[in-house]
Structures are given as structure tokens and as C-alpha cells.
Amino acid sequence: MEPLRGTKDILPEEIRYWQKIYEIVTKILTQNNYHEIRTPIIENTELFLRSIGSFTDIINKEMYTFHDQSSRSITLRPEGTASITRSFISNKLYLGNKIQRLWYLGPMFRYERPQKGRQRQFHQLGIECIGSPMPIAEIEVIRIALKILEQLNVEKWSLEINSIGNTEERLKYTNDLKSYLNKYRNDLDENSQKRLEDNALRILDSKNKKTQEILNNGPKIKKYLETSSLQHFEIVCNYLNQLNIKYNINDKLIRGLDYYNYTAFEIQTLNQNQQNTICGGGRYDNLIKQLGGPNTPSVGWAIGLERLILNMEQKSLIHKNKKIIYIAHSEISQADMIWEIINLMDIYQLTFELDISNNNLNKQLRKANQLGAKLCFIISNNEITHQYVTVKWLDTSTQQQVPLYQLNNYLKYIKFSLKT
């Protein structure tokens, strides 16, 4: 039996990175007063159709959509923002605080060709700063993304940023871009030729050299932006300058989702990976209204966690826990003493493993060594008769007999010496 193509088990060895990420991001986001939210993995298909946009890759070919037993069309969420928006509206979160700072972490599903850093079930961490039209909101979310990368030891990145204007500006630009590119139709790569009709903006994303050359001489979005779009972008850039955050204005950066306006940004790693975008985000002022909520300008981003982990300086982040105390015994029928010891382990919060193998004591000790345990507590007939525990320090092989009534103090001492 194999896992489905494009899906992966996260085994105990690797889960430690995920737990560490969860721990670090919870700390950073809580400090910035962002609140975690968990929405269902399945939603009505309509939610994504109405938000992500008809001519995007996600809607056209990547969704996991099926009919349930009552013939409802259901989709496994391909991204987080649509669901958060739905939740914001259906729970009337807007009745409370006018500004909502939310974050989520969970699996997303897209039917794509699996590659390194590209899966069919993958995970996103995302934040949404809901309710502010101010450029400072962009800076807040970008700053948090960079903080997270910094604390997870992702060092080589570049922040790409662009203004994609409002709907009208983008429409005018798209029309001009289309008529320009039409003149070179036959020189464009195959994929771009297909996109020319229904999603011409995405051609800017093409990795094809020839297509890129043609685009270089074509119309640029900046020319189509009017005062308010330009001003918004200028303020964003000024703040970034003030904060000394390096960025690159990338006039070909167009995100793959329809709901963005004004600011779009990506954080790319400088590693020579194919999948080098680890974070994508932008402003979405109209989405909430478009889905039936009140007019609520917002901005957010999502980080792909598999790609993040590929770029983490992993070794420096996590130390293997070698401070296990192994409990070996030969008389499980007289378990009273074992439970007394385990109670004390709980009190002093020591990590332990009780042998449950039915092997003889020698084999149990070998197991303790294999595990890399620091200490082994040994309990056999003699120990039970005379009410003591044999404690063996495995790295020095020194052995002590600790009377039960002194065990409390001894564990206090162990706790202290394992810390140092």
C-alpha cells in the first residue's frame, strides 16, 4: 500500500520540525496579537468559485471537488483566505472588533504535478489582517513574515513587491497587454498562447526566455495606475525603507488569485530550487464584500510549510532529546514500585520510557543504551525485597542504590543535573 501521489506521511523524525514551527509562530503571532482560527477542510465548491476567480489555475485544474451523499458539490480547500473570509462573514466577526487579526495553519489540496516542494496535500501557515485600508497593514504583515523566517533560520530570501492597481486599472492594462502580445502570438511559449485568451496577466509569470523578452518591451502596469494606487504603493515602499527591509519592485509579479488589489508580494528564497516562492500575499479590499459581507479592506499572506522546511537551517534548530530515563524491571507482577517511580517522574517532569517488552534485564539495558537514554532505573527481586532502586548512569556506567524513601530527593538532583 502506498500513499496517494503527491501526499506524504510526516514521520516522527520530521514532526519535530513541524512542532518547533508551531511553537515559534504561535509565540510571534500571539505577541503581535494575532489569533489562531481553524476552519473546516471542506467547503461548498461555490465559495472558491466566487473568490479565487474563474480563469485561475486553481479553479481550472487544481481543485479536489466531489459530490457528497446528498449531491452537494464539496471542495477540499485549496487555500486559506477564502475560508477565513467565509468564516468572518458567517460568524459575523465584523460585529465585534473592526480590525481582526487572524492566523491559521493546516493542510491545503491542489491537484498539481508533484515535485520537490510541490505536493497535492501541502500545508500553509497564513495570516489575515482584516479591516484596514492603510498601507501600514501591509508593513505589519510583511514584517511578521520576515520575523518568522528569521527565527526559523531562513536566511537567503528576497522580497518581491508590486502594485497591481484596482480592478479597472488592471482591466485596461490586461487589454493592452493582450493586444500587444497578440502581435507575437506565434513566438510565445505554448502555455502562454493558451493563457492569452482567458488569463493574459498570468503570462507575466512565464519562465520562458523568449516570452520574457517579448514582455520586456511590452506595456507595464505602472503606467496604468492612477493617483490613489500610486500613492498607496509609494507609502508601502517608504515604510519598507524606513524599516530597512530590502525589497525588489517586480513589475511582473502577478499573483495567481483574482481577489488581490494594490499590493502583491512574494518572498522567494535564493536557493536554486524550482519551487522558490515560500510566501505569497497581498491586499484584498473587495473579497469580503464580494462574498456578501460588509466592505472590509484586508491584507494577508500564506507560507508553504513544506518549502519553508526545505529552506530551514535544520540542524541548528532542533536538538534530539537524549535525556530519557529508562525503567527496566524483572518483576512486573509487583508493579507498585514502578508506579511510585512514574508518579515522581510526572512530578519532576522527567522524560521516561517504561520497558514493556517482556525481555530479560540484560536485553532491557541494551535497549536503554540503543535509545541513548541518560539513565536506567533497574528494579528486580532484590530491589523489591529491600525497597531500593538501582540507578545506572549510562554514559559513565556508574551505578547507585537509592532507597525508596530517598528517591524523591534523588530525582530532584537528577532533574537539576539533566538541566545543566
Which of positions 116-175 make contact with ligand ATP (CB under 6 A)?
117-119, 122, 124
Binding mask 212-241 for ligand ATP (x = CB under 6 A): ------------------------------
What burial letters (b/e) apply to 364-397, b meaning 16+ CB within 10 Å?
bbebbeeeebbbbbbbeeebbeeebbbbbebeee
Query: Is 80 among the annotated ligand-binding positions?
Result: yes
Tell which one of 43, 306, 355, 383 touches ligand ATP (CB under 6 A).
306
To ligand ATP, the closest distance from the beta carbon of 102 in angstroms equals 16
Query: Is 128 among the annotated ligand-binding positions?
Result: yes
Strand partners of residue 265: 161, 281
Query: Is 126 among the annotated ligand-binding positions?
Result: no
To ligand ATP, the closest distance from the beta carbon of 285 in angstroms equals 18
Instruction: Name which of 82 and 407 has its Cβ closer to ligand ATP.
Output: 82
Binding mask 65-104 for ligand ATP (x = CB under 6 A): --------------x-------------------------
Query: Is 16 among the annotated ligand-binding positions?
Result: no
Rounded to whole angstroms, the Cα distance separating 286 from 283 reads: 9
Rounded to whole angstroms, the Cα distance separating 30 from 28 reads: 6
Instruction: Name which of 282 and 328 has its Cβ closer to ligand ATP.
Output: 282
Instruction: Name which of 119 and 296 has its Cβ closer to ligand ATP.
Output: 119
Rounded to whole angstroms, the Cα distance separating 30 from 44 reads: 30
Q: DSSP string covering 327-376, please?
A: EEES-GGGTHHHHHHHHHHHHTT--EEE--S---HHHHHHHHHHHT-SEE
Q: DSSP string covering 176-233, please?
A: HHHHHHHTTGGGS-HHHHHHHHH-GGGGGG---HHHHHHHHTS--GGGG--HHHHHHH
CA 306 to centroid of chain Cα atoms? 7
Which of positions 254-283 make contact with ligand ATP (CB under 6 A)?
255-256, 275, 277-280
Rounded to whole angstroms, the Cα distance separating 350 from 347 reads: 8
> Under the criterion CB under 6 A, does residue 307 sit at the interface with ligand ATP?
yes
> Under the criterion CB under 6 A, does residue 8 sit at the interface with ligand ATP?
no
Tell which one of 169, 304, 311, 377 touches ligand ATP (CB under 6 A).
304
Rounded to whole angstroms, the Cα distance separating 103 from 51 reads: 19
Instruction: Name which of 131 and 281 has its Cβ closer to ligand ATP.
Output: 281
Give the binding-site size for ligand ATP (rule: CB under 6 A): 19
Q: What is the 3-state composition of the chain as percent helix, strand, coil, each rounded to the nearest 5? A: 45, 20, 35
Binding mask 283-302 for ligand ATP (x = CB under 6 A): -------------------x
Query: Is 242 among the annotated ligand-binding positions?
Result: no
Annotated binding site: 79-81, 110, 124, 128, 255, 259-260
Give the interface with ligand ATP as residue ranges (CB under 6 A). 79, 110, 112, 117-119, 122, 124, 255-256, 275, 277-280, 302, 304, 306-307
